[in-house]
Chain A
Amino acid sequence: MKNMMEVKDLTFTYSGASEPSLKSISLPVEKNKVTALIGPSGCGKSTLLRGMNRIHDLYPGHRYEGAINLLNPDEKGYTNILDIKKEAELIRLRQRVGMIFQKPTPFPMTIFENIAYGLRLSGVKKRADLQEVVERSLRDAALWEEAKDRLDHDARGLSGGQQQRLCIARAIALKPEVILFDEPTSALDPISTLAIEEMISVLREQYSICIVTHNMQQAARISDYTGFMYLGEMIEYDQTDTIFMKPSQKQTEDYISGRFG
């Protein structure tokens, strides 16, 4: 099975809206690949991403139609995550499909506790185990060298780029299968941005990644596949090279080359 996730004919309508925000979207997320979603504001790319770990469900009343299939841990078959009803299962889903937001969201606690918090919730209790996972996560998020001497400091003392990497460490501590990034670098300076991009290219070896970005060059640099969305529809999905060098749809071409549609 080469796809970790498969969005199939997904139509999504926000609570109280008359029109759906996503119209029959299909998108594969290949295993150990980076899939980027691009498109103008309001095209539905973040809405789609947030559907992929049902984070919309934190507020009631939204309507999903279609399927979002997630590969089962035994790699035999898929489960439609839209069928999940129980809160505990939704929490488990969000551990398997982690999300990083645009603004870093460190908890108001120490660097160590930021990562250990979720681990404790998921049942890791022993100090030594916690320490081991915290270190490994920080290393994977390329933050260990900068943070190892200040694990007991408040996480809010880190720079923006460091905070974002801490959030990534926090997500990967739970050993997710998929990581969703929602514009993870739009609040960061160019150097911190490159550090995150570099990290994503390393994380790809262990995780499947889907990233929403407004920075098209970023999509071109780090992704294997790119989907271009417009007005709630998936206009074109293809290998990133093809999208940026020879897209087949005029709308895609106009958008990526900065032309009037």
Chain B
Amino acid sequence: MTTGQHISHKFDEEVEEVTSSVLSMGGVVVQQIEKAVKALLAGDKEMAEAVIEGDLKVNTFDVDIDEMCNRIIVMRQPTATDLRLIMAIIKTTSDLERMGDEAKRIARQAIDISKRGALPEQFDSIEQMSTRVTGMLNKALDAFARRDIDESFNVIHLDRKVDKDYENLVRQQITYMMEDPRKIPVAIDLLWSSRALERIGDRACNICEYVIYLVKGKDVRHVEIKELKKHL
């Protein structure tokens, strides 16, 4: 509702600081996912290891942001929009941290696959899926930064496409497995990775739900998509 300044200038600075930390964290997570998928497609073991190492950075953000929120709660006793912002930040951060874990999971599969050697056609649809998912996450972070309800709504809608991508990918890998049993180990790795991407898409939607909560004060977490518009 309001974005006016607090009487306490320091409070404004604290809110600014924690918000920009969330966005930086989001940026790092997007990079982690992109790098993990790249490593998967290219069979690049070194890049995959860098992703696994990079998760430490994500975890550090997680801890630091929680601490900043704790400090704001204790010192400022936030209410109304401020309270909802802090709630949204705490929840967004924990979703981002889990997305970082999913990126790490993909990186582990990438190391596995790099040892096995996969056939390029097997990767086809995962690339498309990962582009869609990172796009969603970028948009969700954007919606968070601008407190943009419409954009949040769009992202939540996009998740259906990701679910479709996932279904297609599963079907495709099953076909490969039936055609040629030598493709089974790679197919299983790819299934795990696509599952991770699908989860990242869900968590990007969660972030958008927090944005709606932040702006509208309405908790839409367990609301069906077709019911969602009524709440906005």
A residues adjacent to B (C-beta < 8 A): 216-217, 220, 244-247, 250, 252-254, 256-260
Q: Is A254 touching B2 in the complex (CB atoms < 8 A)?
A: yes
Tell me the nearest residue of chain A to B76, going by C-beta: A258
Contacts of A253 in B (CB 8 A): 1-2, 80-81
- The one of A246, A252, A258 in contact with B8, judged by C-beta atoms closer than 8 angstroms, is A258
Further 7 A-B residue pairs, CB within 8 A, beyond A245-B80, A250-B2: A244-B79, A244-B83, A245-B83, A245-B217, A256-B80, A257-B81, A259-B5
Q: How far is the CA of A252 from the CA of B70 in the complex (A)?
A: 25
Number of B interface residues, CB 8 Å?
A: 18
Q: Is B217 touching A257 in the complex (CB atoms < 8 A)?
A: no
- Give the interface SS of chain A, mostly helix, strand, loop or mixed: helix
Q: How far is the CA of A217 from the CA of B76 in the complex (A)?
A: 11
Contacts of A250 in B (CB 8 A): 1-2
Q: Is A259 touching B217 in the complex (CB atoms < 8 A)?
A: no
Q: How far is the CA of A244 from the CA of B77 in the complex (A)?
A: 11
Q: Is B84 touching A259 in the complex (CB atoms < 8 A)?
A: no
Q: Is A257 touching B78 in the complex (CB atoms < 8 A)?
A: yes
Q: Is B8 touching A257 in the complex (CB atoms < 8 A)?
A: no
Contacts of A254 in B (CB 8 A): 2, 4
Q: Is B79 touching A256 in the complex (CB atoms < 8 A)?
A: yes
The 8 A CB mask of B77-99 against A (1 = contact, 0 = none) is 11111111000000000000000
- The one of B7, B83, B217 in contact with A258, judged by C-beta atoms closer than 8 angstroms, is B7
Q: Is A257 touching B6 in the complex (CB atoms < 8 A)?
A: yes
**Does B11 make an interface contact (CB < 8 A)?**
yes
Give 10 CB contacts A-B under 8 Å. A245-B84, A253-B1, A254-B4, A256-B80, A257-B6, A257-B78, A258-B8, A258-B11, A258-B76, A259-B6
